[in-house]
Structure 1
């Protein structure tokens, strides 16, 4: 059944119907207290573990709810979607469960791990089509396919039935709590999850303060809410790939305008720090978007003391090959990793002098590239140094100056940094 999106707001009965539709498909994921976070913030911090969902993210909820409500004719023709990640897996799972045909368009740059996951969930019911270098190119190809074939397009977030499926996350949270929830932190990409969960809370738990969280590099919802209309970003940082969109949905934006109390953005480096902390302490594997809600707690540490707080962990589809980059971004953000161009005198023992007199007892050289120049007095080296405490940085700089090493600090020169490191 089609619904008009003008003046649309998810109804309790439609969210409840979505929950019934999902009963044998989506897991009722745990809402569990995290002891470490609760002690750190002196609050009752509960994690809604959508990382433990059937396809390791909440996306199965919206995808299946939408597809299950298509007409018999639409189901026979099959469905099409565009996605580089979790939505693709949700659609693929749904196609196999309902035994219908699906075509999933993904950028040609999509990591093999994600393609394999989609193929695993969809099996023979799904055809993966790799095209273009970006999501936008893949979506354009998918939309053209729909026009030619008459197959139904399953949007990742801008659809009432997608939003109602995601809203079942909120229904489960309130089913599993006996105490009032003071704060709810939600990751925001296209806005489908925030619109769904936020709308349920506004109707059932209106006293809860709803905080939407985006990465610094893709603040599309924040900019849109500030402008009072959907605003497309010219460029985004794609690192937090599950929440990096240039343009939020018209429908999801309209609902979010009514339900989100505050939007905040989080540096990508802080997200990386939280991924590592939760993995090392609690063995929780999170993708970058899945860590957004937890990463926002630092900004509210005074406000949430003594409160009941829920953070939605939206997914765990993290390629292990990204862990080195995650660690690097975390160290840079925390001020524990520093890169320099150091001009070494071309004489024997210059590097030994640097190691003996410049490095502190706990400093470590983690990156070293040296080019010897035959016609110059000094040869440049790119050096990465990891320190144990942020405060150790000033001493490192001071010792380089005292010992006559000419250097250039790269962390503050992003263009040069990305070229050399």
Structure 2
């Protein structure tokens, strides 16, 4: 028992017991050296491939461990209930099917269709999905209320000792799969269950390892909380990195992490998208946004990790192919290769031709154009999206647009307006 917080803190012994529970359930996933990333960063970089679990994420570890303990104690007679943005739901569905337990799973209405189909497949009739709200936090509150009314046991996705113990079995695997000391361990963080599990094991078995947490900049709840010295709830979050977008990390996970991590980075969602495309094109790896977080963070630690042994946890690969265009768009906006403008066009024949000839560069491309001719005015506005070959071409494009009188407004700096218009 932790005297400061009165919270039950998992121990290494608990983690070893959890491993026995999971022995024939989870895969010992590959621990692969990335030759490309090692060369790029002049380091020895290894990827722990939890995207290759049966449910394509590490979440099966904690979910099965928790549900199995309740099953042994005869506490699931009225079923279980959980809330999840996708990966925890798949782990819960898998466990319900394996143990023949009825489960209700609350998921955000924004959950990608691919994840919904996967949950149903793993549950095989033992689970029911309820779509509720826009965020994980909306679902969590609804699931807790459902559990109170029905008597179903609530399976928290991260803020639970047995969930943490299950996730921590991943740390035991990592330490057994390498003979070399690990200098840096990069861990993706949403609610903090995986991070707390890594801390539980590494603080005892490899205390010299620098543990670096990585979260999306639009949902940096752990970073804000660590800086504040208390667990903070964010008012708004960007839900794009759905597997790691929570408004508040767990009280228990925060307590475990706050004195043992060596850094907490936030990564721009555009950088995550750039990394997703890079990993697919160069390494033939299909990752979900949360699964690419640790690799996307390496640039921020490029100097520190030179010559070091580095491990990045690849947390999942439950991506939906229908998101590809959005991923490409976000990546190009981040790299400064896609720009949106409101452009003033004279209402005369040939004005668009003049714009193409005198404003656009030789290799620039119009990818979006929306214009309505209004005879009552001399000029009318159009929304124009332009793709550049190089981000360095932007200043020249902007100068030509202003110099020839076409420029009215630049939309990239006003994402709310841009999302409304494009």
Contact 1:210 1:261 in 2 (8 A): yes
Which residue in the other structure is 1:339 paired with? Answer: 340
Aligned to 1:18: 18
Deviation (angstroms), 1:383: 0.7
Are the counterparts in 1 of residues 344 and 405 from structure 2 also a CA contact under 8 Å?
A: no
Task: Give me the whole-angstrom Cα distance separating, in 1, the residues matched to 2:316 and 2:5.
Answer: 27
TM-score by length of 1: 0.96
Q: Which runs of 5+ in 1 are unaligned?
A: none
Range with greater deviation from structure 2 (180-189 or 125-134):
125-134
Distance 1:5 1:52, change over 3 A: farther
Shift of 1:168: 1.0
How many angstroms does 1:136 deviate by? Answer: 3.0
Deviation at 1:407?
Answer: 3.1
Distance 1:63 1:225, change over 3 A: same
Deviation sequence 1:309-330 (CA, Å, 0-9, x none): 0010111111111111111111
Q: 1:174 to 1:319 in 2, by over 3 A?
A: same
- Give the number of aligned pairs: 418
- 1:395 — aligned with what? 396
2:129 is paired with a residue whose SS is strand
1:57 corresponds in structure 2 to: 57
In structure 2, what is the equivalent of residue 204 of structure 1? 205
**d(CA) in 2 for partners of 1:5, 1:113:** 40
Give distance in 1, aligned partners of 2:295 and 2:135: 28
The question of whether the paired residues in 1 share the 8 Å contact of 2:137 and 2:246 is answered with no
For the residues of structure 2 that align with 1:147 and 1:410, how far apart are their CA atoms? 47
Q: Tell me which residue corresponds to 2:43.
A: 43
Contact 2:106 2:143 in 1 (8 A): yes
CA distance in 1, matches of 2:128, 2:25: 21
Question: C-alpha displacement at 1:295, in angstroms?
Answer: 0.8
Determine the structure 2 residue equivalent to 1:117.
Answer: 118
Comparing 335-344 and 9-18, the one that deviates more = 9-18
Cα distance between partner residues in 2 of 1:303 and 1:129? 45
| TM-score of the two chains, using structure 2 as the length reference | 0.96
Q: Which residue of 2 aligns with 1:141?
A: 142
1:8 and 1:255 in contact (8 A); partners too: no
**Alpha-carbon contact 2:113-2:320 (below 8 Å) kept:** no
Mapped pair 1:165 → 2:166? yes
* Structure 2 partner of 1:287: 288
Conservation of the 8 A alpha-carbon contact between 1:199 and 1:259: no
Distance apart, 1:105 and its partner CA: 1.7
